Amino acid sequence: MTPAVPAGPRRIGLDFDNTIIRYDEVFRQVAVGRGLVPADLPPTKTAVRDFLRRAGREPAWTELQGVVYGPGIGAAEPFPGVLDFFRACRRDGMAVCIISHKTRVPYAGEPHDLHAAAMGWLEAQGFFRPDGIGLARADVWFEETKAGKLARIAERGCTHFLDDLPELLTDPAFPAIGGRCLFDPGGGCTLALPFPKVASWAEFGRLVGVAL
């Protein structure tokens, strides 16, 4: 499903965790280092989560997320094509903002400041450099609740929004915009959705009319 690009200005809203930033290898490395999973486990966040849940170790999984999203975030990488997408949007004069549902501190474990960690990662990757991507800090929003995220998407007037969670995109409270899109790089979502799925940032760029 690839709808025509609508006429008029576009404002692209983007999720952060597991959409812009890829944690898969970090989850495996940290979990192996803590003796939580075997070293031969596939390097994906889902594999680590499912292993711990099958072992009845949900608290360990919750604490692990706080470590990865906090002090472990520096080892995470942007998904392929992310930086090219942002540069292309700047070239074309297209407005872009990041809107994420992220608590300030983890639900369990050490009280790392997850918002500061995420902003530090964006800084280290050059997102805020005026001679590079040039993203404004004021266009990055970390909302502590899902309701806050949905309200922010509406408040920012997003015409398109890319997220890796189908349950967020199909939430009845999701703003009535025509440009919802699921980021599904692994092709694991088998749901029949009333909006497109994309497997790469290049594919999303084509959908919104941005040539990477």
Q: What pTM was computed for the model?
A: 0.91
SS3 1: coil
**For position 109, what pLDDT does the model report?**
86
What pLDDT band is residue 6 in, cutting at 50, 70 and 90?
Answer: very low
pLDDT of residue 190: 87
Q: Which one is predicted more confidently, 61 or 189?
A: 61
CA distances from 44 to 102, 121, 146 (A): 20, 20, 24
For the chain, percent of residues with pLDDT exceeding 90: 87
What's the pLDDT tens digit per position in 120-146?
A: 999 999 999 999 899 999 999 999 999
pLDDT at 9: 76
Taking alpha carbons only, the member of 89, 78, 82, 79 closest to residue 211 is 89
- pLDDT score of 7 more than 70: no
Residue 179: pLDDT above 70?
Answer: yes
Q: What's residue 8's pLDDT?
A: 60
Residue 4 has pLDDT above 60, yes or no: no
Give the pLDDT of residue 1.
Answer: 43
- Residue 149: alpha-carbon gap to chain centroid: 13
Query: Across residues 86-105, what is the average pLDDT?
Result: 96
Cα–Cα distance measured from residue 102 to residue 86, given in angstroms and rounded to the nearest whole number: 21
Beta-ladder partners of 163: 182
- CB of 88 closer than 8 Å to CB of 211: yes
Mean pLDDT, the chain, rounded, equals 93
Region 65-69 average pLDDT: 95
| Band of residue 71 on the pLDDT scale cut at 50, 70, 90 | very high
Indicate the CATH number for domain 11-21+79-208. 3.40.50.1000
Question: What string of DSSP letters covers the chain?
Answer: --PPPPSS--EEEE--BTTTEE-HHHHHHHHHHTTSS-TTS-SSHHHHHHHHHHTT-HHHHHHHHHHHHTGGGGG-EEPTTHHHHHHHHHHTT-EEEEEEE--SS-SSSS---HHHHHHHHHHHTTTT-TTTT---GGGEEEESSHHHHHHHHHHTT-SEEEES-HHHHT-TTS---SEEEEE-TT-------SS-EESSHHHHHHHHT---
Whether residue 91 is predicted with pLDDT greater than 80 in this model: the reply is yes
